[in-house]
Structure 1
Amino acid sequence: MLKLGLIGKGISRSQSARLHVLLGRMCGMDVTYDYLDSDQIADFDLIRQLTKCAQTGYAGVNVTHPYKTSARKLITPRKRLPEALGSVNTVVFREDGWRGDNTDFVGFMRGYRQQFGDAKPGTVLQLGAGGVGLATAFGLRGLGADKILIHDKDAARGEELVATLVAADAAAEFVGEADLADAVRSADGLINCTPVGMNQYPGCPFDTALFGGQKWAFDAVYTPVQTAFLTSAAKSGIEVMTGFELFFFQGIEAFEVFSGAEIDADAARTEYFNAYPEALTG
């Protein structure tokens, strides 16, 4: 049996369990996947919870909001992660110690290449500098983006991400509210890493009147899959990548780290949509 779990706050709506159980079934593995919600655990402490998981037979756990940055400070990262990427979302328990990974980072790059091939990202405007925004920004760096423009309503948080990217030799700038429209118009790619567009937060994070000259768009939101942002972008002739791709590929990357198995992504996609057709629409 492969015992896995997810540590986070308010995670009851997560779809991670069904993806990991399905991937296990494809590999002939009996997988359990528990939701370890800090809202439901008295006196929750991250290091105590990780230690308990390691001692009770978990092969590993995913870590989500708001614990990714804290987990990175506690755990040795895998060598494939950029040194400056200060968050982990995957922890593996091994006899020689715990190892951290960020499969949002590698999953975003894998999804981008699946969707857009070898095309370079160009100049990209990203809204949102939180946990997933950190991973996608470093993914853009890994994909060879010419320039990464960051806007966040919390200017200090946005500027901190820009400083982190610049320190990692990426061309990055913070875009304030006054310059946002010009940045949208001039961008090759547009990314939403804010909650706007989720079922709970309907709407579009961009001014759609500015759409038309961009080449591609990605929305980290995947419930629903077809967000108002991506629908408007597609109508304007912009190629789009849905948040499902990030969810799917980060999950595959995490499962491969946990299990040592190699997943056929195309077969897994077919199996997942056959089992959960509602995932096509969110």
Structure 2
Amino acid sequence: MTDPVYPDLPPSDPIQLGLIGDNIAKSQSPRLHRLAGAQNGRRVIYDQLVPAERGQMFDALFEWVKQNGYRGVNVTYPYKERAATKVTVDDPLVRGIGAVNTVVFDEGGPHGFNTDYSGFIAAYRRVRGNAAPGPVLMIGAGGVGKAVAFGLVALGLTDIRIADRDLPKAQALAQALTDASPGLVTQTGTDCVTLAAGVSGIINCTPVGMVGYDGTPLPRPHLSGAEWVFDAVYTPVDTQFLQDAGAEGLQLISGYELFFGQGVDAWAIFTGLGLDEARMRRELIEGKDVS
């Protein structure tokens, strides 16, 4: 991840941040960033910005935050790929991903970063250490799916199956991955059940299982035989997908770990200020917040 040019933040001013996305009422990002500010003696204002609720399309809302004093915004489903078209991306890896979840507004204009990528790698290693991913089925080829797939390549991926209802989207991601990692074996399709046979890892990068999107992306019988799963959803933390996988004895990587890792990295990009990560974990678990 390319280091940003850290801002000169006037110590008396609040740091204005936000999250643009749909279905974000349960997001913990506002609390994480307010707690991060408190650790540094800074007041953080972190707004939840849902385009439909504000009567704006994404483009108009993005322009509004750019013009109204925001230091930066996080971007989530379904706008990460759209956001990538509106920013300067210095990191060639992030340009390859084609999606950004962190945007900083500075004198050089909006710059985009992808902390889903770094957050997924940290989450995987926290649970599985240096173990190779093995053949992986990834369900969902959208913004977070792209970041996770490139993270898998960094972790030594050699074989991936990508399932998405939008087959051209899955095929485009497969091509981007093979461009970045020649020799990578890829399969694409719209039926995740068919693609699940013989994989070691199964990843959900769809909103299925999130509050408001009940269900599971893959029925429990088709989890049998895998070794590990990852769910990008973290609201709720204990999704039906993870419950089913746990009942089958699979190793579980929670979306909460991705949330935590991407949030810590985003805070560093927004402010350049440090964090006591162990303290942050405790305060988030305890439900602490600051006004």
Q: Please give the TM-score of this superposition, normalised by the length of structure 2.
A: 0.85
SS in 2 for 1:74: coil
What amino acid sits opposite 1:155 in the alignment? L
Q: Aligned partners of 2:27 and 2:229: how far apart in 1?
A: 24
Structure 1, residues 22-46: CA drift from partner, whole Å, max 9, x if none?
A: 1211222211101222113344452
Structure 1, residues 40-95: CA drift from partner, whole Å, max 9, x if none?
A: 3344452x544443443221111223322222112111427343111111111122
Q: Aligned partners of 1:256 and 1:179: how far apart in 2?
A: 36
Q: Does 1:209 align with 2:221?
A: yes
Alignment match of 2:250 (pick from 214, 238, 259): 238
* TM-fit CA distance, 1:177: 5.6
* TM-fit CA distance, 1:14: 2.6
CA RMSD, 1 decimal: 2.3
Aligned to 1:107: 119
Q: Which moved more, 1:108-117 or 1:50-59?
A: 50-59
Cα pair 2:163 2:191 within 8 Å, conserved = no
Cα pair 2:89 2:112 within 8 Å, conserved = yes
Aligned to 1:280: none
Aligned to 2:88: 76
Cα pair 2:162 2:186 within 8 Å, conserved = yes
What amino acid sits opposite 2:161 in the alignment? L
SS in 1 for 2:137: strand
Q: Aligned partners of 1:60 and 1:144: how far apart in 2?
A: 32
Q: Does 1:85 align with 2:97?
A: yes
* TM-fit CA distance, 1:20: 1.0
Q: Does 1:14 align with 2:50?
A: no
Cα pair 1:81 1:102 within 8 Å, conserved = no
Residue identity (%): 43
Q: Please give the TM-score of this superposition, normalised by the length of structure 1.
A: 0.88
Cα pair 2:116 2:258 within 8 Å, conserved = yes
Cα pair 2:86 2:110 within 8 Å, conserved = no
Higher relative contact order (CA 8 A, sep 6+): 2
* TM-fit CA distance, 1:199: 3.6
Q: Aligned partners of 1:238 and 1:43: how far apart in 2?
A: 43
Aligned length: 275
* TM-fit CA distance, 1:17: 0.9
* TM-fit CA distance, 1:276: 5.7
SS in 1 for 2:17: strand
Cα pair 1:126 1:193 within 8 Å, conserved = yes
Cα pair 2:15 2:42 within 8 Å, conserved = yes
SS in 1 for 2:235: coil
Q: Unaligned stretches of 5+ in structure 1?
A: 278-282
* TM-aligned CA distance change 1:193 to 1:261, over 3 Å: same
Q: Does 1:192 align with 2:204?
A: yes
